[in-house]
Chain A
Amino acid sequence: SQTIHQWPATLVQPVGSPLSLECTVEGTSNPNLYWYRQAAGRGLQLLFYSVGIGQISSEVPQNLSASRPQDRQFILSSKKLLLSDSGFYLCAWNGLTTGELFFGEGSRLTVL
């Protein structure tokens, strides 16, 4: 069966420090991958998606970037964190034949 892993689960970082959140999927090949951010425990904002290795689409201009170095690995990065980058980051993959997204357990980032 397919599983999705995100780490770290919790991260506290100072303003101006770098960031790397990692997401990996097991049990499927060539998935579409997505990074969402959830602020204040409410709505989800799509940040990036990827349909293949090295293919990244950005949905909103921001301080973050994404990379997909391997088929089932999706990384969210920043060179210098801002206070406004705080939030709950969710990685997801898409079951193309059925349409729904499957989410990881999330990474909570607090920037101080």
Chain B
Amino acid sequence: AQSVAQPEDQVNVAEGNPLTVKCTYSVSGNPYLFWYVQYPNRGLQFLLKYITGDNLVKGSYGFEAEFNKSQTSFHLKKPSALVSDSALYFCAVRDMEDSSYKLIFGSGTRLLVRP
């Protein structure tokens, strides 16, 4: 069965510092991996995805993520955090062999960037 783990409920960083939000996954086949961001009382916004190719994926708002197959991880990173990055972040996985194309989401990590 597919699963995604986000081990941190909350990540606190100072503005201007680098940030990392962790994600590990488990799928039976090859994974499609995604990161989304959610602001209060809003839907989820797509940030970036890994399908195949370069292990370092660049996305919206200066975010990037590194796919590591041996560690089954897909951590979200940003070199310099902004206060406006404070939000709820979700990692998600899709099993390429699953014809429903559904995404399984992690429990979410709240990012708090302090001024």
- A107 CB, nearest partner CB in chain B, Å: 10
What are the residues of chain A within 8 A of B108 when measuring CB–CB? 42-43
Q: Once the chains bind, are B100 and A49 in contact (CB under 8 Å)?
A: yes
A6-B43, A101-B34, A101-B103 are known; give 20 further A-B pairs, CB within 8 A. Answer: A34-B102, A41-B88, A42-B88, A42-B107, A44-B90, A46-B104, A49-B100, A49-B102, A57-B100, A90-B43, A96-B101, A99-B32, A99-B49, A99-B51, A100-B46, A101-B46, A102-B46, A103-B43, A105-B42, A105-B43
Q: Once the chains bind, are A44 and B51 in contact (CB under 8 Å)?
A: no
Partner of A44, one of B45, B100, B105: B105
Which B residues form the contact surface with A (CB < 8 A)?
32, 34, 36, 41-46, 49, 51, 88, 90, 92, 94, 100-108
Q: Once the chains bind, are A106 and B41 in contact (CB under 8 Å)?
A: yes
Partner of A104, one of B36, B43, B49: B43
Interface centre among B32, B102, B108 (most CB of A within 10 A): B102
Q: Once the chains bind, are A43 and B105 in contact (CB under 8 Å)?
A: yes
Q: Which residue of B lies closest to A31 (CB)?
A: B101
In chain A, positions 80-112 with a C-beta closer than 8 Å to chain B are: 88, 90, 92, 94, 96, 98-106, 108
Task: Give the dominant DSSP class at B's interface.
Answer: strand
Q: Is A53 an interface residue (CB 8 A)?
A: no
Q: Once the chains bind, are B103 and A51 in contact (CB under 8 Å)?
A: no
The total of chain A residues at the interface (CB under 8 A) is: 28
With contact pairs A32-B100, A32-B101, A42-B108 given, residues A100 and B43 touching in the complex (Cβ less than 8 Å): no
Q: Which residue of A lies closest to B105 (CB)?
A: A44
Q: How far is the CA of A48 from the CA of B100 in the complex (A)?
A: 11
Q: Can you report 30 A-B residue pairs in the complex whose CB atoms are below 8 A from each other?
A: A6-B43, A32-B101, A34-B102, A41-B88, A42-B107, A43-B106, A43-B107, A43-B108, A44-B105, A51-B100, A90-B43, A90-B44, A92-B44, A94-B101, A99-B49, A99-B51, A99-B101, A100-B34, A101-B34, A101-B44, A101-B46, A101-B92, A102-B46, A103-B43, A103-B45, A104-B43, A105-B42, A106-B41, A106-B42, A108-B41
